[in-house]
Amino acid sequence: MYDQITQNVRRLLGEIPPYVTVVAAAKTRTPDEIRAAIDGGVSIIGENYVQEAARTKIELGNSDRLGAEATLHYIGHLQLNKVKKAVEIFDVIETVDTKRLADELNAQAKRINKVLPVLIEINIAGEPQKAGVMPDQLPELALYLDSLPNLRLQGLMTMGPRLEESGLRKYFAETKRLLGSIGQLGLPNSDLLYLSMGMSNSYRIAIEEGANLIRLGTAIFGERA
């Protein structure tokens, strides 16, 4: 399994453009599986759960694998009561979608004298059951984040609806357009560097539509047992 994961990562890195970075979506994966992904060349580990990430950081941090070789991105829905620990653990939060969450992240980052990079999660298809800011509310949230001294807005993230790959194209294209639109707001404290979209079943289309962060789980680790 270790060798297969390493080979999967090397193959993927050989296929995608050099400006695209892989986020290894490591939900429920073991430290050994994550080590294999890092050995293959992954430089970002994406976690959905704060407690799981804390255990991973302890195990891999003790061997200098996280920090020296890979950084941690939070890619799940972040509950307010988990923010304090998340700010301590993660290098980037990709799923900011409310002012209230932004305020708590900013306060906790200030507490430890940290400037925390964040992405806004956008609910691009307006699905009521999903997290993410609605597209029409994006400018207001982007302006608000830009005003918070301990957060640094760096782009957008979207999950996209559950559709076949070809059906996602218009949603990815719209997310890219929205990134451009907030770039026109004149945000002096933001660096709009990243468009995080596309997963194992959709990353090719996402890259074609402008993604430079892709979140891959099954394509790296295989199906869960």
Rounded to the nearest integer, the mean pLDDT of the chain is 93
| Distance between CA atoms of residues 176 and 188, nearest Å | 20
Instruction: Report the amino acid identity of residue 214.
Output: I
CB 23 within 8 A of CB 44: yes
Q: Is residue 161 packed enough to be buried (19+ CB in 10 Å), middle (13-18) or exposed (0-12)?
A: middle
| Distance between CA atoms of residues 29 and 8, nearest Å | 15
SS3 state at 95: strand
Instruction: Give the count of alpha carbons within 13 A of 9, CB side only.
Output: 26
pLDDT band with cut points at 50, 70 and 90 for residue 63: low
Q: What is the pLDDT of residue 45?
A: 96
pLDDT, mean of residues 86-100: 97
* pLDDT at 64 > cutoff 60: no
Domain count along the chain: 1
* pLDDT at 163 > cutoff 70: no
pLDDT, mean of residues 201-223: 95
Range of the domain at 214: 2-221
Instruction: Report the amino acid identity of residue 222.
Output: G
Domain of 73, CATH number, reads: 3.20.20.10
**% the chain with pLDDT above 70:** 94
Buried b vs exposed e over 122-157: b needs ≥16 C-beta within 10 Å? bbbbeeeebbbbebebbeebbebbbebebbbbbbbb
| Distance between CA atoms of residues 54 and 209, nearest Å | 34
Q: Which of 48, 53, 27, 55 is nearest to 221 (CA)?
A: 27
Pairing status of strand 44-47 against strand 151-157: unpaired
Q: What is the pLDDT of residue 154?
A: 98
Question: Where are the strands (E) in 143-212, listed by range?
Answer: 151-157, 194-196
